[in-house]
Structure 1
Amino acid sequence: MPIDQPPPPPVEVDLARVTVVGSALWLLALVVTVVLALVGTTGWTPVAVCATGLALGGLGYRWAARRR
């Protein structure tokens, strides 16, 4: 039988950096979906989803920056 070992400590992660990267990806998706909506390839619902993701990323950044 293996000897029980304590779990390793959690990895230190800068959540502000993670939210900035995620928000940048939402911004890129927002630009792409706006272009597609203007061309008529897709509707405006994907644009709203990307804008919401970007807004939530901004809120996440504010939260992560306060917890540093």
Structure 2
Amino acid sequence: MKFAPLYDPNARKESPKPVQVDLRKVFGIGLALWIIAFVVVLVMMAMGQPHMHNAFVITLSGVIIGICLLIWEFFDRSDYRRLGAD
């Protein structure tokens, strides 16, 4: 085991470049999964399953956060693409 990188910054390897990811796909897939879960909870509530209020609030929150993330991605797209191109 080499201890030089621990106390000598010049002996460290370069950090790898960050991978540029299309956040629309990531947030879109996450939002789709939350919407599916939300529909399942609504169906279960319609069928008379007790104690589904917490699941309803959680899945609704996931859908709202997913929509907010897509809006954020739309407005900040140029910033993170510019940073990822370096």
TM bucket, shorter chain: 0.7 to 0.9
Structure 2, unmatched stretches of 5+, are 5-10, 78-86
Give the letter for the 1:4 counterpart. R
Structure with bigger RCO (C-alpha 8 Å, 6+ apart): 1
Distance in 1, Cα, partners of 2:22 & 2:74: 9
2:34 paired residue number: 26
Structure 1, unmatched stretches of 5+, are none
More helix by share: 2
Aligned residue pairs total: 68
Instruction: Provide TM-score, normalisation by structure 1.
Output: 0.86
Distance in 1, Cα, partners of 2:76 & 2:25: 13
Larger radius of gyration: 2
Please point out which of 33, 49, 55 is paired with 2:64: 55
Distance in 2, Cα, partners of 1:50 & 1:25: 10
Please point out which of 12, 17, 34 is paired with 1:9: 17
| 4+ aligned runs moved over 3 Å, structure 1 | none
Give the letter for the 1:56 counterpart. I
Moved more, 24-33 or 37-46: 37-46
Q: Percent identity?
A: 29
Give the letter for the 2:76 counterpart. R
Partner deviation per Cα, 1:26-60 (whole Å, 9 max, x = no partner): 00000001111111224222112111110110000
